[in-house]
Structure 1
C-alpha cells in the first residue's frame, strides 16, 4: 500500500512542478535571467513560425526549413548582435552556396567534387571576418550540394541554390524584425549588476580587514585567508566587464532607448568609471593583502606602530562605506547618492591624510621592502584616488545623463 505522501514518481513529479512554478513566478516577478530566457524562447518561436509561413505557404519552397532555422539562429541577446550575426551568417551561406555552384558546374555532383567542396568550405570558414558564423560556410555548402545533386536540370539547380539564399535572407530579416519590434532586449541594468557584485566583494573583504587592524589581530592564518579571497575576485571582475559590455551594446540600434527618460552614452561613462574604480581597487587590495601576509611570515606577528594600524583601519572603513554606496548606484537616485558620496569621500580623504602624515611623523621604514608600511601608504593613496575619481564622475553626471 502506498504511503500518504505518494510514490517516488509522484514525489519527483511534484518537485518538478514546484521548481517550474517557482521559475515561472521569478520570470513574472522581476527582470532577470528567467524573464530574459522566457522572452527569448517566445520571440524565437514567433520568428520561426512567421518564417515557416512565408517559406512554406507563400513561396512553397522545396526546403522551407532554412528560413525558420535562420530566424532562430540570429535571435541574439542584443539587437546589435542580431544585426551583426545575421550579416555574417548571410555572407557565410552565400559563400557556401556560390562555391557549390561554381565547383558543381565545373566538376559535376560526384565524390571528388564533394571532397573539394568540403575542403574549400572549411578553409573559407576560418576567415576571421565571419566570426562564429564561419562554420556555417561548410554547413550551407553541404546542404547546397545535396540540393544540387538531386536537381534534374541546370535550370532547377540554379533555382534551388538561389532559393536557399533567399530563404536564409527571409529568415534573417524576420528574426531581426521580431527582435527589434517585440520587446527588444535592453540589458541596461546588467551594468549595475556587475558594479554591485564587485562592490559586495570589496565591502565584504575590507569589512573583515579593518576590525582586525583596529584590534591588532593580524595573525598569519587570517592574512592568508584575506589574500586567498582577494585573489579569487578575478572571475567576478571578468563577469562584471562582460555585463557592462552587454549593457552598453544593448543600446545600439535599440528603439527602446527612445522611450527612456535618460538617453545617451554619457551614462555609461559614469558606470564605466565606477566599474573601473572597483576593479582597480580590488587589485590594489589584493596587493595590500599580499604585503600583510608576507609580513606575517617574516615578522611572526610583530607590529611596529599601533597608531598607524588604527589610522589605516579608519581609512579602510571609510572606503567600505564608499564602496557600499557605489554598489547601489542607480540612475533614478544619482543626485542623492552623489551628495552622499561627496561627504564620504571627504571623510576618506581626511583618514588618508592621517595615514600618510602619521607614517612620516612616526619615522616608519617606508623604504624597507621587508616591512609593509611603504606598500600600505602607496595603496592608501591609490585607493583614495580611485574612489575620488569615481565620485567626481558620478557628481558630474548627476542630474544630466545618468
Structure 2
C-alpha cells in the first residue's frame, strides 16, 4: 500500500486505500443528500405551480354543491361538484370548452337513455345498447373524448337508476350546468389566476432550454468540440414537454383575459404580447435544432469557423435570455430586438469572412431563428424579415474554403 503524509487519531499512517474507503461513503451520502434536496425542491415547485388550481377546485366543488343542494333543493347533487372539478382539471385555456362538452355529453346521454328505455325497456343487453348508441351519437355530433365519456356515463346512470330514481334526468343535467358554471365563476371572478405569472412559469423552461443549448453550441464552435455540440442537439430535441406547456399557458392566458374582468386590463398589454410568443418560440426551437445539427457536421468536416460565428450564436442565446426577462417584467422587448439584430450582424460578418457548406447553413439558420424571435417580440413576419435583411448586410458570395 502507498502511504500518504497524514496520520490518524492513533498516530498510524493512513493509507490511500483507507482514505478512499472513508471518503467513499461520505461522497455517497453527499450525493444522496443532494438528490433528496433536489427532489424536495422539485416537489415544492410542483405544489406551488398547482396550489392555485387546488384552491380553485376546492372552492368550486363546495359552491356547486351548496347551490345545487341549498338553492335548487337537489337531494343528492353529487355530479355538480364532480363537474366543477372536472372543468377545472381541464387544461388551462380549455375550461370553457370543457364546460360545454360536459353539458353536451350529459344531454346526449339523457336523450338517448330516455328514448331507448321507453322503446326497449331495461336489462343487461338494453344497457349495453344504450351506451353504444349514446357514444356513437356523441362521436357523430362532436367527436370530443370528453363528450363521449360524459354521454356514455350518463347513459349508464339513466339506464340503471331511472327505473328506481324518479326524475333523474333533470338533476343530472342541472348538476352539469351548475358545476361548469361555478367552475368558470371561480376562475374568472372569485379566484382568477394571474395570467402573466402563469405565462412566466410556463415559458421559463422552454426559454432556459433554448438559451442553455445555444450557449453550449457557441462554446462548441469556439473550441471545435463536437461532443458538446452533439449533447446540445440531443438536449434541444427533448423539448416537446416545455413547448407544449408554453402553448397551453398561452391558451390559458387568452381564456383568462376573455372571461375575467379582473384581468381585462392585461389584454392589450404584456399578456397580449406574451400570449403571441408560443408559436415563434416553437419555430425558433426547431430552427435552432437544424442550426446545431449543422454545427456538428461543420466541426466534423473541419470547415472554417470565422470568429464572428460563435459570437452570433452566443448573441442569439442572449436574445432569448433578454426576451424571457423583459416578458417576465411586463416590458416591451425592445432590448431583445436590438440583441437579435446584433446576432444577425455577426452572422453576416461570419458569412463574408468565408464559410464552408455547413457554415453557410448555420448562418442561414441564425437569420431564420432571429426572424422567429423578432416575430415573438410583436413584429409582423414582413417587418422582421426586412430588419434581418438590412442588418445582415452584403450578400456577395462568400469565399468557400475547403475542409481540412
Report the Cα offset of residue 43 of structure 1. Answer: 1.5
Report the Cα offset of residue 332 of structure 1. Answer: 5.0
Matched residues in 2 for 1:385 and 1:163: separation? Answer: 55
Does 1:42 pair with 2:39?
no
Q: 1:219 to 1:48 in 2, by over 3 A?
A: same
Matched residues in 1 for 2:320 and 2:236: separation? Answer: 15
Report the Cα offset of residue 391 of structure 1. Answer: 4.8
Matched residues in 1 for 2:341 and 2:320: separation? Answer: 14
Match of 2:306 among 309, 320, 327: 309
Map of 1:197 onto structure 2 = 205
Tell me the secondary structure at the aligned position of residue 314 of structure 1: helix
Matched residues in 2 for 1:223 and 1:174: separation? Answer: 51
Does 1:224 pair with 2:230?
yes
Q: 1:329 to 1:196 in 2, by over 3 A?
A: farther
Q: 1:380 to 1:47 in 2, by over 3 A?
A: same
Tell me the secondary structure at the aligned position of residue 150 of structure 1: coil
Does 1:53 pair with 2:69?
yes
Q: 1:116 to 1:387 in 2, by over 3 A?
A: closer
Map of 2:121 onto structure 1 = 108
Q: 1:161 to 1:46 in 2, by over 3 A?
A: closer
Matched residues in 2 for 1:118 and 1:223: separation? Answer: 55
Map of 2:246 onto structure 1 = 240
Q: 1:185 to 1:355 in 2, by over 3 A?
A: same
Does 1:255 pair with 2:252?
no
Cα deviation per residue 1:213-246 (whole Å; 9 max; x = unaligned)? Answer: 33xx214423322322232234322332222222
Does 1:92 pair with 2:87?
no
Report the Cα offset of residue 316 of structure 1. Answer: 1.7
1:71–1:172 CA contact under 8 A, matched in 2: yes
Matched residues in 2 for 1:389 and 1:172: separation? Answer: 36
TM-score (norm 1): 0.71
Please list, as runs of the form range in 1=range in 2, the aligned pairs for 1:152-301 lying within 5 A after superposition. Answer: 157=166, 159-214=167-222, 217-258=223-264, 260=265, 262-264=266-268, 267=270, 270-271=273-274, 274-297=277-300, 299=301
- Please identify, of 136-145 and 371-380, the stretch whose mean Cα deviation from structure 2 is larger: 371-380
Cα deviation per residue 1:144-199 (whole Å; 9 max; x = unaligned)? Answer: 22332226xxxxx5x44334334444444444444443213443433333433232
1:80–1:253 CA contact under 8 A, matched in 2: no
Match of 1:347 among 339, 342, 345: 342
1:342–1:391 CA contact under 8 A, matched in 2: yes
Please list, as runs of the form range in 1=range in 2, the aligned pairs for 1:65-84 lying within 5 A after superposition. Answer: 65-76=78-89, 81-84=94-97
Report the Cα offset of residue 287 of structure 1. Answer: 1.5
Match of 2:325 among 325, 328, 346: 328
Report the Cα offset of residue 73 of structure 1. Answer: 3.0
Match of 1:357 among 352, 372, 377: 352
Does 1:126 pair with 2:139?
yes
Report the Cα offset of residue 390 of structure 1. Answer: 4.2
1:43–1:179 CA contact under 8 A, matched in 2: no
Matched residues in 1 for 2:66 and 2:317: separation? Answer: 53
Matched residues in 1 for 2:377 and 2:169: separation? Answer: 59
Map of 1:379 onto structure 2 = 365
TM-score (norm 2): 0.71
Q: CA RMSD in A?
A: 3.5
Q: 1:230 to 1:66 in 2, by over 3 A?
A: closer
